[in-house]
Amino acid sequence: MSDTYVIIHGAWHTGAEMEAVAKHMRESGHVVHCPTLAGNRPEDDRSTMGLNDAIESAVRFIEEKDLHNVRLVGHSYGGMVISGVADRIADRLERLVYVNAFVPLDGQCLNDLVPPHYVELFDSIAAQNNNAVMLPFPVWREAFINDADLALAQSSYAKLNPHPYHTFIDPISLKQPLAQLNIGKSYLNCQQDIALPHGLPWHPRLSERLGLFRLVECAGSHETWFSNPPRLAQAIIEAGRD
Amino acid sequence: MSDTYVIIHGAWHTGAEMEAVAKHMRESGHVVHCPTLAGNRPEDDRSTMGLNDAIESAVRFIEEKDLHNVRLVGHSYGGMVISGVADRIADRLERLVYVNAFVPLDGQCLNDLVPPHYVELFDSIAAQNNNAVMLPFPVWREAFINDADLALAQSSYAKLNPHPYHTFIDPISLKQPLAQLNIGKSYLNCQQDIALPHGLPWHPRLSERLGLFRLVECAGSHETWFSNPPRLAQAIIEAGRD
Amino acid sequence: MSDTYVIIHGAWHTGAEMEAVAKHMRESGHVVHCPTLAGNRPEDDRSTMGLNDAIESAVRFIEEKDLHNVRLVGHSYGGMVISGVADRIADRLERLVYVNAFVPLDGQCLNDLVPPHYVELFDSIAAQNNNAVMLPFPVWREAFINDADLALAQSSYAKLNPHPYHTFIDPISLKQPLAQLNIGKSYLNCQQDIALPHGLPWHPRLSERLGLFRLVECAGSHETWFSNPPRLAQAIIEAGRD
C-alpha cells in the first residue's frame, strides 16, 4: 500500500533537511514530498514574509501537484502551517500528523505557545537582524539536538537558515477548531524533546487540542530528523497510516 | 521457578483475548489462567449483571481451583475486579498486578475514574442497547490500539463483546484501602496508552493509590495484548515476580 | 577522544558500586574515577559526619589528582555533593551530569526535596541508630530497584552501608544558582525511577533548576547501576560528552 505524504519543515529548516527521513519512508513504498515553505527559500525577504505566505505556499504546492488523500506532516513551526492548510483544503487531506509541532487555536500565533524567555530571545535577535531570527548554537546543541554528538550538532546547525520572524507573531485564522475537522489526526512525540520546557510541553498540552487523536512516540530529541532518520520514518508511518 | 498467574480481562474482552500473552508467559515456565468474568460470557444477560457478579465469578474461579500464592493481574476494568477479589481473599494472593487498570477507593465506580465525555458516550450507548455498551470503532482504533495497523485494529475489534453497563456504575465495597493490604502491588504502564486522556492518566494518578508499589513500563498502547504479546508477557513477569 | 569523568555515588553506596558502569565507560576510552565520599567509608563516624565533609572529600580528590575538564557525575544524594563541588571549583569542571540526582537551591538540604513520608521514615531510623540510616529492604526492592529480579535486589542490598544522617539535614551553601555556572549541565533520567514519587519527581521538577540543560533518558530504575550497567554507561557518555 502506497500512501502520499507531504512533510512541512519547521523554522530554520527547508525541505532538504527532511529528505533523510523521506528517503526511508519511500523505501517503504510511500510517495513523499518535502517542499520548502515561502519564507525559508534563499531568495525570500525575511523582513516581510509572514505565516499566511507560508501557508499559501504549502496549499499551492498541494494544489499544483493535484494531490489527494494527503497525509500532511508538520514539524514544530510546521504545525502552524499544516493547521492553516487543513483549514483551507481539508478535502485533499486524509490525516494530519503533528511531529512535536504547534497546534494553534484560532487567533493564536506561535509565540503565544512558547515560554516567555524564548519570546524575549527571539524579539531581541529579530530586532538586530531585520526580522530574521537565528537560534543560538548552545540552545540548538543542548535543547534541540540533545541526542546527537557534537559533530552532528555542528554539521546540522550549519544547514539552518535565518527564519522570518513575522511567521512567529502573525495570528492564525481558523474557521473551526482542528478537533472538529473530519480527517484523522495523529501526534508523534519524540520523548526526549526539550525544545519546549516541561512546564509548557508539546504533549499533552498541544496534542489534546486535536480531540480524538492517535499518539505515537519514539525516543529522540526535537531534531530526530538528523539524529535518527530511520526510526523517525518508521514512527511517521505508524502515525500516518489508516 | 514457576509462579501461578490469574489474568482478569478488561471490558469488552474475554479470557480468550488474554491467551496470546498467557502463552508467552507459560513458555517461561509459569502457570497462567485466563478466566472469563460473569457478564462477558456469551450467555450472560448484559442488562442485569453487575460488578459484584464479576468479582464473585473471579473469586469462585480461584477458590474452585484452590489456587494459592496467586499473582492476580487485572487489565483496565479488570482492575476494579482484582481490587474486589483482593479485598475478599487476600490470603490466596501473593501480589496484585494492575496493567493500565483502574484502582478504586471504597465506594467508587469505574465511571468515577474516567473523563465526563466517556461517561456521556457510555450512557448514550447503554440507553440504546439495553445496558450493553460497545466502544465505537474510531475510538478503539485511535485511542485504544494506536500502535497497530488497520488490519489488526479491525480483527481485534471483531473479537470484542458488548459489555454489561452496571459494572461501570456499581460502586465497589472495600473493607480497607488497597495500599494497606499485606500483599505485593505492581503497576504496569504501557507508555503510549491514551485510552484515558493525559489529564486523567492511569499512572501516576491511579498507581499511587497502591502505596509502596513496583512500577514496570513498556512501550505500547492500551491493547498491547494484541499488538505485542511477547513484550507484554515479559513486562507482566517483571511486575509479578517476587 | 578521551574524557575525564568523576562519578559521585549516592547515599548508602560507595565508589565500588559505581565500578560496573565505570568499567563500560573505560571500554569506550574514557578515564573514570569512582571515589568514596567521607561519611560512607568503613572507618567514618556516621553520627557526626555531614554534607560539608562529603563535599570537601570530593573537592580534595579532584585537587589531589589535579584533574581538569572534569565531567562530574552525581547519582541521587550525589547531586547535593556535585552541586557543592561545582560551587567551589567550577574552573576544574567541564560539565555536571545529574543522574536522577538532587539539585538544591542555596540553603536547602536533601530532606527539603523528598516527600514527608521519607523524612519521617529516616528520622525514626536515625533516632534508633545513632544517626546512621538504612533503607528498609521492601522500599529498596519495590521502589529503588524495581527492574531487577529478587536475587539481584538482595545481592545489591547486601553491599549498601549505613548512611550518615547529617548529610540529609545539613543545608547546602551555594554562592550562585547552579543555572548561572558557566559549565555544561546535563540531566540523565532513568524512566522507571520511582525512588521519588511522581508528585515530587526527579525530572522535570529538579532538572529545570539547571537552566539550559541537556536531557538524556534511558529505561531503568533508580539503581540501573546494578540492573543495566552497559546501558547506563552509554547514557552517561551521551550526557557527558561535549
Lowest-confidence segment of C73-82, C87-96, C195-204, C218-227 by average pLDDT: C195-204
Measure Cα distances from C6 to C22, C33, C95 in Å: 9, 5, 11
If phi over 0 gives left and psi between -120 and 50 gives alpha, with beta otherwise, what is residue A67?
beta
In this prediction, residue C197 has a pLDDT band, given cuts at 50, 70 and 90, of confident
Question: Which member of B139, B147, B198 has the closest CB to residue A204?
Answer: B198
- C94: three-class secondary structure by DSSP: strand
- Which of B222, B229, B153 has its CA nearest to residue B192? B222
Express each pLDDT in B35-75 by its tens digit: 999 999 999 999 999 999 999 999 999 999 999 999 999 99
d(CA B50, CA A28): 48
Chosen from B146, B221, B224, B228 to mutate, greatest number of chain A CBs within 10 A: B146
Q: Is the pLDDT of residue C116 over 80?
A: yes
Q: Which helix (H) or strand (E) holds B124?
A: helix B116-128
d(CA A144, CA C137): 40
If phi over 0 gives left and psi between -120 and 50 gives alpha, with beta otherwise, what is residue B12?
left
Measure Cα distances from C149 to A111, B30, B185, B240 in Å: 48, 16, 15, 10
Question: Which member of B192, B197, B198 has the closest CB to residue A216?
Answer: B192
Angle at B36 between CA B31 and CA B37, to 5 degrees: 120
What ipTM did this prediction achieve?
0.95
- Subunits with 3+ Cβ pairs within 8 Å of B are A, C
CB C10 within 8 A of CB C78: yes
Burial zone of A239 (CB within 10 Å; 0-12 exposed, 13-18 middle, 19+ buried): buried
d(CA A164, CA A173): 19
d(CA C138, CA A196): 37
d(CA A71, CA B9): 35
CB C192 within 8 A of CB C221: yes
Joined grid coordinates for residue B98: 494492575
- Cβ-proximal residues to A187 (8 Å cutoff; 6+ apart), any chain: A97, A98, A203, A206, A207, A210, A213, A214, A215, A216, A239
Joined grid coordinates for residue A222: 526535537
Chosen from C191, C194, C221, C224 to mutate, greatest number of chain B CBs within 10 A: C194
Per-residue confidence (pLDDT) for residue A1, from 0 to 100: 76
In this prediction, residue C103 has a pLDDT band, given cuts at 50, 70 and 90, of very high
In this prediction, residue C189 has a pLDDT band, given cuts at 50, 70 and 90, of very high
Per-residue confidence (pLDDT) for residue C14, from 0 to 100: 98
Per-residue confidence (pLDDT) for residue B197, from 0 to 100: 87
The minimum CA-CA distance between C228 and chain A, rounded to whole Å, is: 18
CB B135 within 8 A of CB B144: yes
- In chain C, where does DSSP find H-type helix? 19-27, 51-64, 78-89, 116-128, 137-139, 150-157, 166-169, 224-227, 229-240
Chain C residues near residue B242 by CB distance under 8 angstroms: 150
Express each pLDDT in B135-180 by its tens digit: 999 999 999 999 999 999 999 999 999 999 999 999 999 999 999 9
Per-residue confidence (pLDDT) for residue B198, from 0 to 100: 82
The minimum CA-CA distance between A77 and chain B, rounded to whole Å, is: 23
- Cβ-proximal residues to C31 (8 Å cutoff; 6+ apart), any chain: C2, C3, C4, C5
Express each pLDDT in B76-85 by its tens digit: 999 999 999 9
The minimum CA-CA distance between A89 and chain C, rounded to whole Å, is: 38
Please tell me whether the peptide bond between A204 and the residue prior to it is cis, using omega within 30 degrees of 0: yes
- Contact (CB<8Å) B204/C191: no
- In C90-191, where does DSSP find H-type helix? 116-128, 137-139, 150-157, 166-169
Per-residue confidence (pLDDT) for residue C198, from 0 to 100: 82
Per-residue confidence (pLDDT) for residue B184, from 0 to 100: 98
Chain C residues near residue B184 by CB distance under 8 angstroms: 142
Look up the pTM and report it.
Answer: 0.96
Supply the mean pLDDT for chain C: 97
- C135: three-class secondary structure by DSSP: coil
- Contact (CB<8Å) A198/C208: yes
Per-residue confidence (pLDDT) for residue C1, from 0 to 100: 77
In this prediction, residue B134 has a pLDDT band, given cuts at 50, 70 and 90, of very high
3-state SS of A151-182 is HHHHHHHCCCCCEECHHHHCCCCCCCCHHHCC
* Residue ranges per structural domain of chain A: 4-240
Chain A residues near residue B118 by CB distance under 8 angstroms: none
Indicate if the alpha-carbon torsion angle A23, A25, A30, A35 is positive or negative: negative
Joined grid coordinates for residue B235: 513486562
CB C190 within 8 A of CB C99: yes
- Contact (CB<8Å) A208/B194: no
d(CA A241, CA B6): 35
Question: Which member of C149, C150, C192 has the closest CB to residue B215?
Answer: C192
- Which of A39, A43, A178, A36 has its CA nearest to residue A102? A178
- In chain A, where does DSSP find H-type helix? 19-27, 51-64, 78-89, 116-128, 137-139, 150-157, 166-169, 224-227, 229-240
- A215: three-class secondary structure by DSSP: strand
Cross-strand bridge partners of residue C95: C71, C184
Chain C residues near residue B217 by CB distance under 8 angstroms: 191-192, 219
- Cβ-proximal residues to C36 (8 Å cutoff; 6+ apart), any chain: C9, C14, C15, C16
CB C205 within 8 A of CB C102: no
d(CA B242, CA C21): 26
Name the phi and psi angles at C20, rounded to 5.
-65, -40
- Which of C242, C185, C194, C193 has its CA nearest to residue C215? C185
Per-residue confidence (pLDDT) for residue B6, from 0 to 100: 99
CB C148 within 8 A of CB C227: yes
Question: Which member of B138, B146, B198 has the closest CB to residue A208?
Answer: B198
Indicate if the alpha-carbon torsion angle C97, C105, C224, B198 is positive or negative: negative
The minimum CA-CA distance between C28 and chain A, rounded to whole Å, is: 14
- Which of C208, C128, C126 has its CA nearest to residue C167? C126
- A185: three-class secondary structure by DSSP: strand
User: Mean pLDDT throughout C148-157?
Assistant: 98
Joined grid coordinates for residue B83: 481490587
Q: Is the pLDDT of residue C173 over 90?
A: yes
User: Mean pLDDT throughout B198-203?
Assistant: 90
CATH class of A4-240: alpha beta
Per-residue confidence (pLDDT) for residue B236, from 0 to 100: 98
Catalytic residues of B: 76
Residues of C near A (Cβ–Cβ under 8 Å) read 184, 203-204, 207-208, 212-217, 238, 241-242
B13-21 long-range contacts (CB < 8 A, ≥24 apart) are B13/B40, B13/B75, B13/B159, B13/B160, B13/B161, B13/B225, B14/B40, B14/B41, B14/B161, B16/B159, B17/B156, B17/B159, B17/B225, B17/B226, B18/B75, B18/B225, B20/B225, B20/B226, B20/B229, B21/B225, B21/B229, B21/B232, B21/B233, B21/B236
Measure Cα distances from C62 to B118, B122, C51, C238 in Å: 59, 64, 17, 22
Question: Which member of A213, A217, A242 has the closest CB to residue B191?
Answer: A217
Total Cβ atoms within 10 A of residue B28? 13
Express each pLDDT in C39-77 by its tens digit: 999 999 999 999 999 999 999 999 999 999 999 999 999
Q: Which residues of chain A have pLDDT under 50?
A: none
Q: Is the pLDDT of residue C97 over 80?
A: yes
If phi over 0 gives left and psi between -120 and 50 gives alpha, with beta otherwise, what is residue A148?
beta
Torsion angle of alpha carbons A118, A123, A126, A131, nearest 10°? 110
Residues of chain B above pLDDT 90, percent: 98
Per-residue confidence (pLDDT) for residue A141, from 0 to 100: 98
Q: Is the pLDDT of residue B233 over 80?
A: yes
